[in-house]
Homo-oligomer: A and B are copies of this chain.
């Protein structure tokens, strides 16, 4: 099954589950603010990738819903806090006012805190074994904590006005965005009872997808259009941030994107070699969808 078909088939089911979880009950502003940011039109990339791994193993997707929703909650809280005046100071996100603009700065801080907290509660629900839940909670905390996403965000802020080497840039992105992607594929593997070696391969695929995703984002920022990104192109350049095209040059950046995607696909095939029933097409077609042509 192609990823695009899987996504079309399964998006609504997961979305309905997620929206029911967060439907405001008491009507407080904090619940409203949580719901506002969760329903701001995200593509649910990370949770759908988690579910895609479960699908590739032929297991029941619903088992993965709580962890997938938790992942989206963590991603959403990180966007709310990143947008704050003290951080990136963004007024718009996906064309809508950011949380602190729509509500207030204090509500945005608290709504972020509440989404982060709720994420861990979500993993405790559902039918997985207690052992699996504990494994997922530990890994989610590590991936999204100071050794992962939060540490990456801090390093990103610190590096904003410095020129970074390509290795420094990669280390920041690996934490800031790569670790949550790693969790999505690791969690899918855990839930689907993947063996240890396949788990390691899945994590490696996720890392390469993460690097590819960042290069793609940087490239679209230069060659793409504002509509596709939902923000002004060239924004990172204006802030003096280091990007792949700025550091490598445009053609080498395109080449690096292709090579990361190729390596990711090779590792997917290795998983498939170990488990013949593994439906590699779903991951291979996802990886292919990240490719962009250098048609300058």
Chain A interface (Cβ < 8 Å from any Cβ of B): 28-31, 34, 77, 81, 84, 86-87, 104-107, 109-110, 112-114, 116-118, 120-121, 123-125, 129-131, 133-134, 137-138, 140-142, 144-146, 150-151, 153-155, 157-158
Known: A28-B154, A29-B154, A154-B107. A124 touches B118 (CB 8 A): no
A137 touches B124 (CB 8 A): yes
Residues on B with C-beta less than 8 A from A129 are 130
A124 near B141 (CB under 8 angstroms)? yes
- 14 further A-B pairs in the complex, CB-CB below 8 A; given A29-B154, A106-B157, A130-B133: A28-B155, A81-B110, A87-B109, A107-B154, A110-B146, A116-B117, A117-B141, A120-B137, A120-B140, A120-B141, A124-B141, A130-B134, A134-B134, A137-B137
Q: Which of chain B's residues have a CB closer than 8 A to the CB of A113?
A: 77, 81, 112-113, 116, 150
A117: nearest residue on chain B (CB-CB)? Answer: B145
Question: Which of B87, B107, B109, B150 is in CB contact (< 8 Å) with A117?
Answer: B150
Residue pair B86, A29 in contact (C-beta under 8 Å): no
Q: Are A158 and B114 in contact (CB under 8 A)?
A: no
Establish whether residues B146 and A30, one from each chain, have CB atoms under 8 Å apart when the complex forms.
yes
Which residue in B30, B86, B133 is a CB contact (below 8 Å) of A104?
A: B86
Cα-based distance from A130 to B135 in the complex (angstroms) = 9
| Bound: A129/B28 CA distance, A | 36
**A29 to B150 CA separation, bound complex (whole angstroms):** 12
Pick from B114, B133, B137, B157: contact of A146, CB under 8 Å:
B114
Closest to A144 in B: B117
Give Cα distance in the complex from A118 to B140, angstroms. 10
Contacts of A145 in B (CB 8 A): 114, 117-118, 121
Cβ contacts A to B, 15 pairs, < 8 Å = A28-B155, A29-B158, A30-B150, A34-B146, A86-B106, A107-B154, A110-B154, A112-B113, A117-B141, A117-B145, A120-B120, A121-B141, A129-B130, A130-B133, A137-B137
